[in-house]
Amino acid sequence: MLRTKIFTILVLVQGVFAQNILEGDRSVPIESKDGMVVTSHFLASQEALKVLKNGGNAIDAAVTAAFALAVTQPRSGNIGGGGFMLVSNDKTNKVIAIDYREKAPAAAYKDMFLDKDKNVDKKISRFSHKSAGVPGTVAGLALALKKYGTISLSTALKPAIKLAQEGFIITPRFYKGVLSKEKRLKKYKASKDVFFKKDGSAYQVGDRFIQKDLAKTLKRISKYGAQEFYTGKTAKYIVEDMKKHGGLITMNDLKNYSPSIRKPVHGTYRSYDIYSMSPPSSGGAHVVQILNIMENYDISSLGHNSADTIHIMAESMRRAYVDRAEYLGDSDFVKVPLKGLTSKAYAKELSKNITNQRTPSKDLKAGNAPGYESNETTHFSIADKFGNVVSNTYTINFSYGSGIIVNKAGFLLNNEMDDFSAKPGVANAYGLIGGESNKIEPNKRMLSSMSPTIVKKDGKNFLVTGSPGGSRIITTTLQVISNVIDHNLNILAAVSAPRMHHQWFPDEIRIEEGFSKDTIKLLEQKGHKVVQKKSMGAIQSIMIKDGIFYGAADPRRSTSSALGF
C-alpha cells in the first residue's frame, strides 16, 4: 500500500520536475558495487566516475566533480564561493569536516549594509562587490586533496579546464537559468560577455558554451597551485575589480584566507549515528536537534507525510529555528552552545510543549520575514570501494551569486555577506532572522544552513546526503533521513517524496506539490497555515547496504545524475 503510494508520488514528482532523464530508469535507485557519484550535473558525475574507475578515491572524485560543476553549472558550482565537505572512512571510523566557507574581508563592519536611516540596503548586501566574502572553494578543495586524496590538483582540474575551454552543450536548465537572471547578469560587462552573445541575445539550447577566461584561471591554478588564486594573477584580478567597484576584498584578505578542519556535529537518531556540519553552519546542529525532538514520537506509526507527522515535524522545526536565530554564528567568534542544542534532554524539554495544535511562532519569539526564493547551492555525494564517502555542499549563495563575474578571471563572485545578520531581528534573503551571534565582524564566517551529512549504522557508512535550498537545506536533509529510517523508503523514494518546511517565521508550513487536500485540511484544523510553493532542494544521496551503493539523484533538477560502476 505504502509502496504503491510512494511510486505514485514518485511518478508525479518526476512528471512535474524531471524534464530530461539522462541515464536510464529513475523509478529505482541506481545500484553499483565499486563506486557511486551523485551530483546535480551529469557532466560532473561522468568526470568524477572516471576518476573512481581509474582507481582514485572518493575525495579525488569529489574535487574533480567540484571543479567540473564550477564550469558546467555556474549558477552554484563555483570557485568564487565556499562550502563544507564531510569525509568519512569506514576503516578508521573517523568523520572529518572541511570548512571552506567564505570569510568577511578585514574591512567589513557590523553596520556596513545599513543606509542613513539604519535600514538594510539589500542591493548592497546582495548585488554589489561588497556582498562578496573572501572565497574559500579553491583552498578548501586543495586541502581536501592534499590530506585525503591521491591525485594532484592539476589532475583534478583537467576535466574542468577542458569543459571550460572546449565548451559543453547548453541544456534547457542552463538556458532557462540564465534567462531567469538576465537583468542581474547583464549589469556588469564581464558577466554579460560570458553569458550572452555579442548582440546581447542568450545562447540557445544546443549551443556550445565556452568560458575562455575561466579556462585560463583554472589553468593558472593547475600550473601554480591553489595559492595562485590567493596571491597570483587571479587574486590581482579580484582586487582590481574590488577597487574599481567599491568592494572590500584586498590582497591581504586573499593571502590570509585558510580553510579549517573541524569536528562535525554528532548525534543519534533511533540507533543511527548522524554526522553533519558544525558551525559556521547551523545545519548539523539543527538537523540533529530536530531529529532529537522527533525521536520523542513514534513517527513511523504516525505515517509518512500524514498530518500528524507533518505537525510534529513543523513544531520541531519551528523550535529549532528560534534557537538558530539566537545562538548560531561562527564558533571562532562566538560561543555556540552546541552540546546543549543537540542534547536529548533539551529536545525532550522542547517536545513537552508541543501539543496537538500549532504553537503560534509569535509565542516563541516575534519576528517578521519576507520570502525571497533561491535554491542555488549545490550538493554532491560520492562513495568509493575503499570505504570512503564524501558529502559536499558548496555555494555562491544566490543563483549566480551577486551576478558579478570577475573581469578577466571568468568566474562569478558569491554574495554570501548577505548570510550575516545585517541588522538584528531583520530577516536575510531566506527569511532567516539572525541576532548578535551572526553580526558582521572582520574575518568572520557568515552563518550557513548547509548540511552535508553522513549517517552511519553500526560504525559503517550508511547514508550520504545533503542539499541546496537556503533555509530549507536543514529540513530537506532531515526529511530524507526520516524517510529512510522511520518510513523505510528506498533512497530514491526518500529523495523524491514531497517535502514540507517550517522555519519559525514566516509562521506557515511550506509544502511542495503532492500533498493531499485531506492532509492540508487536517493541518489547518490544527491551526497551521499551509502554503504550497516551489519545490525545495536537490538532495543528491547515496545509501549503502550490504556492500551495495544505491544512488538517487533528485528529480527536482533535470540535470541531476547518479552514476555507478
Number of residues located near ligand GLY, criterion CB under 6 A: 9
Instruction: Find where cell 545524475 sits.
Output: 561
Cβ atoms of 41 and 72 within 8 Å: the answer is yes
Residue 222 CA to residue 228 CA, distance in Å, equals: 9
Pattern 469-488, ligand GLY, x by CB under 6 A:
-x------------------
Residue 450 lies near ligand GLY (rule: CB under 6 A): yes
Q: Which of 125, 292, 449, 535 forms a contact with ligand GLY (CB under 6 A)?
A: 449
Task: Select from 276, 316, 378, 448 the one that contacts ligand GLY (CB under 6 A).
Answer: 448
CA dist 122 and 374 (Å) reads 15
- The minimum distance between CB 360 and ligand GLY, in angstroms, equals 26
Alpha helices by DSSP H, listed for 21-92, are: 42-53, 58-72
Q: Which entry of 217, 250, 377, 475 is annotated as an active-site residue? A: 377
Which cell numbers in the block locate residue 513? 506539490
Report how far apart, in Å, the C-alpha atoms of 83 and of each of 321, 370, 396, 516 are.
Answer: 21, 25, 9, 36
In the region spanning residues 326 to 355, those forming contacts with ligand GLY, defined by CB under 6 A, are none
CB of 78 to ligand GLY, least distance (A): 11
Active-site residue flag, 377: yes
Given 305, 309, 375, 395, the residue binding ligand GLY (CB under 6 A): 395
> Using CB under 6 A, which of 40, 89, 391, 397 touches ligand GLY?
397
Stretch that binds ligand GLY, among 33-41, 108-116, 312-320, 442-450 (CB under 6 A): 442-450
419 binds ligand GLY (CB under 6 A): yes
How near is the Cβ of 128 to ligand GLY at its closest, in Å? 17
What is the distance, to the nearest Å, from the Cα of residue 65 to the centroid of all Cα atoms in its chain? Answer: 15
C-beta of 88 vs 131, nearer to ligand GLY: 131
User: Per-residue x/- marks for ligand GLY, 532-561, CB under 6 A?
Assistant: ------------------------------
Q: Which stretch binds ligand GLY (CB under 6 A): 241-249, 444-452, 479-487, 538-546?
A: 444-452
| Binding piece for ligand GLY, criterion CB under 6 A, among 48-56, 185-193, 400-408, 448-456 | 448-456
Decide: 466 and 392 in contact? Cβ < 8 Å.
yes
Pairing of strands 377-384, 509-511: unpaired
Contact between 453 and ligand GLY (CB under 6 A)? Answer: no
Asked whether position 277 contacts ligand GLY by CB under 6 A, the answer is no
Pick the piece of the chain touching ligand GLY (CB under 6 A) from 346-354, 445-453, 488-496, 522-530. 445-453
Grid cell locating 503: 522555519
Residue 441 lies near ligand GLY (rule: CB under 6 A)? no
Of 100 and 550, which has the nearer Cβ to ligand GLY? 100
What CA–CA distance (Å, rounded) separates 263 from 64? 24
Nearer to ligand GLY (CB atom), residue 287 or residue 492: 287
Amino acid (1-letter code) at residue 479:
Q
- Return the amino acid letter for 448: S
CB of 137 to ligand GLY, least distance (A): 13
Minimal CB distance residue for ligand GLY: 448
Q: Is residue 83 within 8 Å of residue 396, measured between CB atoms?
A: no
Nearer of residues 221 and 446 to ligand GLY, judged by Cβ:
446
Nearest to 47 by CA among 57, 32, 34, 62: 62
Q: What is the largest CA-CA distance in the chain?
A: 63
Identify whether the C-beta of residue 89 lies closer than 8 Å to the C-beta of residue 104: no
| Nearer of residues 341 and 396 to ligand GLY, judged by Cβ | 396
- Quick one: which segment of 256-264, 337-345, 446-454, 534-542 binds ligand GLY (CB under 6 A)? 446-454
Q: Are 168 and 68 in contact (CB under 8 A)?
A: no
Cross-sheet strand order for the sheet of 272-276: 30-32, 548-552, 541-545, 460-465, 453-457, 272-276, 265-269
Nearest to 120 by CA among 375, 449, 374, 440: 440
CA distance 233 to 245: 18
Q: Which is nearer to ligand GLY, 209 or 394 (CB)?
A: 394
Residue 377 found at the interface with ligand GLY (CB under 6 A): yes
Rounded CA separation 191/513 (Å): 34
Query: Which residue(s) pair with 431 in the sheet?
Result: none
Q: Which residues are catalytic?
A: 377
Interacting residues toward ligand GLY by CB under 6 A: 377, 395, 397, 416, 419, 448-450, 470
